[in-house]
Amino acid sequence: MIFRLTGLLLAGTLMCSGQDTASDHSAQALVSANSQQSQSPLASLNEEKNATHYKSIFRIEVASQNPDYKTPWNSGRFSGGSGTGFLIGKNRFLTNAHVVSNQKRVIITMRGSSRKHTARVVHVAHDCDLALLEVEDYTPFEDLSYLPIGEVPQLESEVRVIGYPVGGDRISVTRGVVSRIDFRPYSHSRIDSHLVIQIDAAINPGNSGGPVLQDGKVIGVAFQGLRSADNTGYMIPTPVVRRFLQDIEDGRYDHYVDLGVAEFPLHNPAMRAIHNLAPDAPGVLVGAVTAGDACDGVLESGDILTSIDGHQIDSEGNVVIAGERVKMHEIVERKFAGDTVELNFLRQGSPREATITLRAFPPARVYAVKYDQKPRYSIQGGFVFQPLDRNLYASHRLNNPRVRRIFNNYLEENLHETRKDIVILTRVLDDPINAQLNAFAGNAVASVNGVDVIDLNHLHEMLHPETLPEFFEIRFDGIQRPLILQTTELESANKRIAENYSVPSPFYLEK
Amino acid sequence: MKLLLSFLLSSFIGSLSVLADAPQSFIRINSTKQNYNVTQPWEKTAPYKRRALGAVLEGQRVLTTAEVVANATYIEFETLDREQRAIARVLYTDNETNLALLEPVDQASILKGLVPLSLSQPVPLGSEVDIWQVEDTGLPLLTKGTLQSTDIISSFLDGHYFLTYEIKASMQSASSSYSIPVLNEGKLLGLLTSYDSDDQILDVISPEIIDNFLRDTEDGNYIGFPSLGVGAANTSDPHLRAWLKLNNDEGGVYITKLAPDGAAAKAGLQLGDVILSINGNALSRRGYYTSELYRQVYWSHLVRGEGAVNKAIDVSLRRGEETLSYEIKLQRPIDGLVPTDTIGSAPRYLIKGGLVFQELTKSYLQAYGEDWESKVPLNLLDAFAHPEDYEQDTDRIVFLSSVIPTPATVGYEFLNSAIIEKVNGQPIRDIPSLIKAFQKAELDTIHSIELDSAPHKIYLDAKLSDTVDTQLRQRGLPALSRE
């Protein structure tokens, strides 16, 4: 009974919002499969049923090629790994994004079989660490059952983690108890936080992407552990999984959206007095509003946000959903670009309301680790220019305080409005043409011949004009002395540099 | 084995032979030091001791390094044999050059019988010098060294570079290891500031700098060393040379920084000028000029070592196509927005209701420990590295250095390192202006504080914070502000 009900609920969610696309079919398939499977009466778990589950859980082997941001012109490092995935619908295999990051070849193997099935990534969501795969030939999988997706489990309830972790070749099962349900960072992208369920069963390498089951239903996807503690594992709970599946219904994964607001708690008595707030009055202070994001032009620093979609906000920025006190940002967590949010707030003491429309905000991704992308760069005269992002920041030692400040305050100081990329001179490939100019490496390019740099493409264009000026005068943030490059011997130098340093292409610009 | 033995023997004999004519011109200096606690500016950290060997000069004066007496709470002289002690006081100290002149508080007999040293003339490269240490027993210990090269080095206060002798010698560690006199033919040549045991190189303050320091003290009105107020880069990069239209036979340094109100800025020098020569000394592309004694010396010595405050230097420079001559009257370096020389001075602060405000200093940042540049808050680091972007609005960077949890600071516990722009509507230029701004709450009973970062404006209950202030004093804070 419970089984069927869940299946219907899931169907309801999927059908409401996925109205116009081809992938509706797979959603239907998922639902029908679930209800078919739930034909069986409320039998307790038995051996046979477990075996059925096991068959729908696979080892995923991935060969990857990881770009090297230190030498962006190179092919990168070839490596590989394995994880777990499971069948949730007709030719729909769910796993973690980090299992298939930077993949060049994905192979799925079934339990008790050596046959390797070539698969491909259909959708990958690095911000919630989920990916959907399909195999080239689904015929051998036709008879397998789909794992149904359940709800958020109760604290202290028992769950099973199934997968192919290190320490053996065959399937592994561990049991644990739900020990915490919390809003926590997802380590894959480094900057995204979503709902996470902590269990006291260890999750080991190879478990990633595997299902966590309770009463025969998937209640989470195993995805990360904790280095500093034993016997803690984390899984992605089903609201996050459902959001991912709903997002891709239109055939494309859009990112999570954000309010673009940093709140400040209203605990201080003077702070409350100045805003005429009674001790139990709701509301949190708006500390900063990100320019260009959803609340830009609606909220201002100093406003007091009192409710979001009808949920009252407390002085720390929390709302109560389904009896749980959670951050107000969780309201937005479940929404998509284009959805609206109702806000109630106080400005100078007078109540106001507004409806904002959530939107994708790419500048915020500067802080996220990037995958599946070839690093962009442009080389001129041995000077290697690359856009600043998390990957670059991690691979180069950028000590200049100005560069660190620019990176840190990129959104807060609205730098993204004028500088789509912060272009860094990351390296100087030593050559007679650039001798003695090494010291400029590690700085952010502000302008070329008096023109402020907008992004890498813009810089590239300026450094490769149809007719070369006599000099390029390149200025950097926080540095008085300009880098001067005489262009007379540039062409021959570029040739020599490409040869000496084995640079197959002097630039890669596509975004 | 035999070889080693004979070596030991000979060196032993060698030492013995010089002991007889060891100069009777040194005295031990014991100094007790105590630094301000930059994170809790109302108090000082635990005291510690430094021991040094001073050089006795004419007129009952003793020369040592500024490092020995910086932040000292107590200084005494002690005879080499440790039989007698006497309290000492600082006559003059200069943290930039790392020199200090002391005298006995009571003109007692502690220096009696000692022979004052006279100052040696500068010596050429390759000269042999005597480095004097004293064993715990009072036996003098001589190490011979050779002047290998000179360099421009900052030995104590960061950013102040002076001519320094680099002496090659293999020294042993002995007591009184801070400030060791170096002699040439019985005359004082310099003071050792550091020893690199791997390279066996000593940094020694040069006789030119010591001479200038002592001359400055003569009239009883110490002025200090001059500065030009420029930062400059070399011009060896051929692209830059072509762009600046410098001739091949020219050298020069390219001005990248001009201290506002510095000597050069006042005289009309501009960013991007190329200094070709100073007082007729042509500068190489890397900024060196030719010296008879030392072959090559960095140009800054012509200003800081050979110049004097209020004395002019002649500068020839290239600006665009023109070659210009300037007579620049040198002056003392101007203390910037973030002072670097806070040695011996108490940090200014204010505590209000538990919010602790300070002025940004380099020593505050350095208190983050080794590798402080990667640990300090980025906004403070940026203000320190680029004061020119902040100077128009303020004289000092006033920031929230910590938040003591009190009833008045509830909710502010994690608000750290924010730079303060206004309090009660009044712009904040330094701690005294902050103290004044807090005297009357703008909003009757509530102070408003504007910050440079989110949430931009916070408030403090005036009455509650006064009560908290009283309690903080009862909890053992000696004072809630220092101007």
| Smallest Cα distance from A182 to chain B, Å | 22
Judging contacts by C-beta atoms under 8 Å, the chain A residues touching residue B354 are none
Question: Is residue B398 domain-shared with residue B470, that is, in the same domain?
Answer: yes
CB contact under 8 A, B239 and A267: no
Catalytic residue at A208? Answer: yes
The residue from B275, B299, B329 where one domain ends is B329
CA distance A474 to chain B (A): 11
Q: Does A432 touch chain B (CB under 8 A)?
A: no
Coil, helix or strand at residue A124: strand
Backbone angles phi, psi at B431, to 5 degrees: -65, -45
Using the CB atoms, write b or e for B446-483: b if 16+ within 10 Å: bbbbbbeebbbbbbbbbebbeebbeebeeeeeeebbbe
Q: Which residue has the tokens 């300009």?
A: A482
CB contact under 8 A, B243 and A481: no
Q: Does B254 touch chain A (CB under 8 A)?
A: yes
Whether residues B369 and B405 share a domain: the answer is yes
Determine contact: B285 vs chain A, CB below 8 A. no
pLDDT computed for residue B483 by the predictor:
87
Three-state SS at B349: strand
pLDDT in tens, A223-239: 988 777 777 899 999 99
**CA distances to B220, B253, B268, B277 from B230, in Å:** 30, 10, 12, 14
**A68 in catalytic set:** no
- Contact between A271 and B254 using a beta-carbon 8 Å cutoff: no
SS (H, E, C) B149-189: EEEEECCCCCCCCEEEEEEECCCCCCCCCECEEEEECCEEE
In terms of domains, do B263 and B388 share one? no
- Judge whether B135 lies within some domain: yes
- CB distance from A468 to chain B under 8 Å? no
Q: Do B385 and A402 touch (CB under 8 A)?
A: yes
Length of chain A: 511
B232 → chain A, closest CA residue: A481
Give the residue, A482 or A166, on which the prediction is more confident. A482
A268 touches chain B (CB under 8 A): yes
d(CA B409, CA B411): 6
- The CA distance from B18 to B14, in Å, is 7
Q: Mind telling me how many Å the CA of A450 is from chain B's nearest CA?
A: 15
The ipTM value here is 0.82
Mutation for A interface: B230, B236, B240, most A CBs within 10 A: B240
User: Which of B:392-421 have CB within 8 Å of A?
Assistant: 407-412
| B141, part of any domain | yes
Strand partners of residue B48: B33
Of A301, A404, A485, the CB nearest to B454: A301
CATH number at B234 reads: 2.30.42.10
Q: What is the pLDDT of residue A427?
A: 95
Tell me the two tokens of residue A136: 């080239």
- Chain A residues lying within 8 Å of B237, measured CB to CB: 435-437, 484
The pLDDT score that the predictor gives to residue A49 is 66
pLDDT of residue A20: 31
Provide the domain count of chain B.
Answer: 4
CB contact under 8 Å between A471 and B243, yes or no, is: yes
Test A268 with B410 for CB contact under 8 angstroms. yes
Whether B322 is in a domain gets the answer: yes
Question: What pLDDT does A112 receive?
Answer: 87
What is the structure's pLDDT at A202?
79
The catalytically annotated residue of A56, A64, A98, A117 is A98
Q: In a mutagenesis test of the B interface, which of A303, A481, A487, A489 is the best target, namely the one with the most B β-carbons within 10 Å?
A: A481
Distance CA B387, CA B396 (A): 10
Q: Phi and psi for B368 in degrees, rounded to 5?
A: -75, -5
| Domain final residue pick, B188, B217, B246 | B217
Question: Do B149 and B93 belong to one domain?
Answer: no
Residue A299 pLDDT exceeds 50: yes
Of the candidates B318, B333, B324, B227, the residue with the CA atom closest to the CA atom of residue B272:
B318
Do the chains contact at B456 and A435, CB–CB below 8 Å? no
Torsion angles phi and psi, residue B75, rounded to 5 = -135, 135
Residues of A in contact with B460 (CB under 8 A): 268, 270
Residue A31 confidence (pLDDT) above 80: no
Q: Using a CB–CB cutoff of 8 Å, tell me whether A270 touches chain B.
A: yes
Distance from CA of A473 to the nearest CA of B (A): 9
Range of the domain at B48: 23-104
A vs B: CB pairs below 8 A:
106
Q: Is residue B77 one of the residues assigned to a domain?
A: yes
Q: Given B240, B271, B411, which is nearest A271 (Cβ)?
A: B411
Closest Cα in chain A to B443: A274
Asked whether the beta carbons of residue A270 and residue B408 sit closer than 8 angstroms, the reply is yes
Do B353 and B422 sit in the same domain of this protein? yes
CATH at B44 = 2.40.10.120
Which segment of A15-24, A480-489, B80-89 scores lowest on mean pLDDT?
A15-24
Peptide bond into B455 cis (omega under 30): yes
Mutate which: A266, A271, A305, A347, vs B, most B CBs within 10 A:
A271
Instruction: Find the farthest-apart pair of alpha carbons in chain A and give their distance in angstroms, rounded.
Output: 83
**Is residue B122 in a domain?**
no
| Active-site entry in A127, A129, A303, A314 | A129
User: Is B182 inside any structural domain?
Assistant: yes
Q: In terms of domains, do B302 and B383 share one? A: no
Are the Cβ atoms of B233 and A481 closer than 8 angstroms?
yes
Catalytic residue check, A38: no
* pLDDT digit string (tens) for chain B, length 483 residues: 333 333 333 344 344 444 556 789 999 999 999 999 888 999 999 999 999 999 999 999 999 999 999 999 999 999 998 889 999 999 999 999 999 999 999 866 788 889 999 999 999 999 999 999 988 888 888 999 999 999 999 999 988 999 999 999 998 877 657 789 999 999 999 999 999 888 999 999 999 999 999 999 999 999 999 999 999 999 999 999 999 999 989 999 999 999 989 999 999 999 999 999 999 999 999 999 999 999 999 999 999 999 999 999 999 999 999 999 999 999 999 888 888 888 878 899 999 999 999 999 998 998 898 889 889 999 999 999 888 888 777 889 999 999 999 999 999 988 889 999 999 999 999 999 999 999 988 878 999 999 998 899 999 999 999 999 999 999 999 999 998
Cross-chain CB nearest to A270 (options B242, B386, B446): B446
Residue A162 has pLDDT above 50, yes or no: yes
pLDDT of A39 > 50? The answer is no
Q: Is B460 on the interface with A (CB under 8 A)?
A: yes
Residue of chain B minimizing CA distance to A404? B378
Nearest chain A residue to B451 by CA distance is A287
Q: How far is A464 from chain B (nearest CA, A)?
A: 18
Report the C-alpha gap between B30 and B326 in whole angstroms: 48
- Let me know if residue B452 belongs to a domain: yes
Q: Distance between CA atoms of A439 and A117, rounded to whole angstroms? A: 51
**pLDDT confidence band for A156 (50 / 70 / 90):** very high
Task: Report whether pLDDT(A143) > 60.
Answer: yes
Structure tokens at A406: 């620019």
β partners of residue B411: none
Domain co-membership, B140 together with B161 = yes
- Inter-chain CB proximity B378 and A412 less than 8 Å: no
- B377 and B450 part of one domain: yes
- Domain shared by B273 and B364, yes or no: no
User: Is residue B268 located within the same domain as residue B393?
Assistant: no
Contact call for residues B347 and B358 (beta carbons, < 8 A): yes
Q: Are residues B157 and B181 located together in one domain of the fold?
A: yes
Cβ–Cβ below 8 Å for B411 and A436: no
Interchain CB distance below 8 Å, B446 and A287: no
Contacts of B394 (CB under 8 A, 6+ apart): B337, B427, B428, B429, B430
Whether residue A410 contacts residue A392, with contact meaning beta carbons closer than 8 Å, is answered with: no
Q: Mutating which of A383, A393, A405, A440 best tests the B interface, going by the most B Cβ atoms within 10 A? A: A405
Q: Would you give the end-to-end CA distance of chain B in angstroms? A: 67
Residue A77 scores a pLDDT above 70 = yes
The answer, yes or no, to whether residue A47 has pLDDT greater than 80, is: no
Contact assignment for A436 to B238 by CB distance below 8 Å: yes
Residue of B nearest to A300 (CA): B455
Tell me which residues of chain B, numbers 345 to 384, contact chain A at a CB-CB cutoff of 8 Å: 373-374, 378-379, 381-382, 384
User: Residue A232: what pLDDT?
Assistant: 86
Asked if A267 lies within 8 A of B411 by C-beta distance, the reply is yes
Residue A58, pLDDT > 70, answer yes
Report how many helices (DSSP H) and strands (DSSP E) chain B contains, helices first.
10, 28
> Is there a domain that residue B3 lies in?
no
Q: Do B411 and A274 touch (CB under 8 A)?
A: no
Distance, in angstroms, between B195 CA and closest chain A CA? 29
Q: Which two tokens stand for residue B99?
A: 């020199």
C-alpha torsion sign, points B307, B310, B314, B320: positive
Q: Which of A288, A478, A486 sits opposite B242 (nearest CB)?
A: A486
What is the domain-level CATH number for residue B404?
3.20.190.20
Substitution target from B234, B239, B415, B461 for chain A, most A beta carbons within 10 A: B239
Contacts 24+ apart (CB under 8 A), B123-130: B123/B147, B123/B184, B123/B189, B123/B207, B123/B293, B124/B292, B124/B293, B124/B294, B125/B149, B125/B150, B125/B293, B125/B294, B125/B295, B127/B184, B129/B167, B129/B182, B129/B183, B129/B184, B129/B189, B130/B182, B130/B183, B130/B184
| A474 CB within 8 Å of a chain B CB | no
Instruction: Compute the distance between CA of residue B65 and CA of residue B101 in angstroms, rounded to an integer.
Output: 8
Q: Do B427 and B322 share a structural domain?
A: no
Global pTM value: 0.85
Question: Which residue in A208, A307, A315, A378 is the catalytic one?
Answer: A208
